[in-house]
Amino acid sequence: MDILDDDGDGDSLLPIAAGAATATGAALACLSCGATLAGAYCHDCGQKNDDLRRSSLRLARDFVEDTFAFDSRMWRTLALMAAKPGVVPTDYAHGRRSRYTPPVRLFLVVSFLFFLTLGLTETMFVAMEVREATLKETAIAEKTAKAANISVGVDADNEENGLDCNITAGLRFFVRPKDLALDSDAWRRCYTDVEKTVAEAIIAPDEDGEAIPEPEAEKTLGFVSGVLAGISGAIENPKAFNADINTWLPRVMFVMTPVLALILALFIRGRNALMFDHLVLSLYTHAVGFAVIGVAIIAVQLGLRAAFPVALLAFAVYFMLALKRAYGRGWVKTIWTGVMSGLLYMMILISIVLTIVVKTLVA
């Protein structure tokens, strides 16, 4: 006869059965192999004596608690990672695991908190800032354009010559919309003039008097117009632009964990430097990276503008210390490995992010 709890979902069946068995001196048998149990886990096959049958609500609650609960192990793991870089991944990879939060779980929790911080602080991953150029910036741009034989700016004698693009633009990362400078009028003038100039250049005949066939010209014009419209949309509505990027960014960062492990394997080999060791170090290191940048985002909100450079420098030092302690190599090899692996990692990450940005612009 089944023993049910008050709500009839059967959640307390095993605990009651276990209590009854203890009271009568009987021993429970493993649900998997049938071996006699002397605790919560089977000494023969290692399975926990629980059939995991739960109500849907209980399963959802247990999943959230198991994944995101900040228990004593997580606090111990975070504290030791901050105090002694490299100790936690080394201990975990060599079997001393019970005292630490597993790397995948810590990565998921910290990355979830990181993206939650982005949302709560209305911080965008990347945005383009556009404003009217100063006289000094205009002079530099005209000098550069002249050297490249490009006409920039409005000709005083003939306003139809040259581009009315007296603007300066640049990318900013982890910025709030209200902190972004955008001169809409200057950008609109530049956008309209560029679109017109490009269209005239496409349909204009070349030196031999030959023009691009009309079907190809229309196709090229459509592509250019789409790109320009995408860029304009990203500039004028950075929130919508970042919404598309934020869809892919968590997936990209999860994929980058094995990428860093593979990069480390190129420089560090040996009995104590297996791919498993690299992957564990990579997961813990990414968790630290999320935490450091997340703290920097909050610090910027509080008015500490130098928080990001300081955070990046602190993380670079942390990575070097983690490599040194995890693999026990000399400082020269550690610094060489840290610099080269960091450069390769950033090249791959930037390439992936740029690909996503470009696809978002031309979509």
**pLDDT at position 206:** 60
Residue 179's nearest CA partner among 48, 41, 303 is: 303
User: CB within 8 A of 215, min separation 6: which ones?
Assistant: none
What predicted TM-score, i.e. pTM, was given to this entire model? 0.71
**pLDDT at position 347:** 95
pLDDT per position as a tens digit, 208-242: 656 677 777 778 777 878 878 888 888 888 888 88
Written as one string, the DSSP assignment of 146-177 is: HHTT---S--SS-TTSS----EEEEEEEEE-G
Low-confidence ranges of the chain (pLDDT < 70): 1-27, 51-54, 59, 62-71, 135-164, 204-211, 363
* Half-sphere exposure at residue 225, Cβ-oriented, CA atoms within 13 angstroms: 10
Pairing of strands 167-175, 124-132: antiparallel
**pLDDT at position 21:** 43
**pLDDT at position 6:** 45
User: CB within 8 A of 250, min separation 6: which ones?
Assistant: 111, 115
**pLDDT at position 178:** 80
**pLDDT at position 234:** 80
DSSP summary character for residue 334: H
**pLDDT at position 159:** 44
**pLDDT at position 155:** 42
**pLDDT at position 289:** 94
- CA 35 and chain centroid, separation: 46
The answer to whether 89 and 264 have CB atoms below 8 angstroms apart is no
C-alpha dihedral (176, 177, 183, 188), degrees to nearest 10? 130
pLDDT per position as a tens digit, 35-53: 888 877 888 887 777 766 6
Residue 294's nearest CA partner among 309, 277, 311, 281 is: 311
**pLDDT at position 22:** 43
**pLDDT at position 67:** 56
Residue 18's nearest CA partner among 38, 43, 46, 45 is: 38
Residue 280's nearest CA partner among 322, 318, 313 is: 322
**pLDDT at position 13:** 44
The answer to whether 165 and 194 have CB atoms below 8 angstroms apart is yes
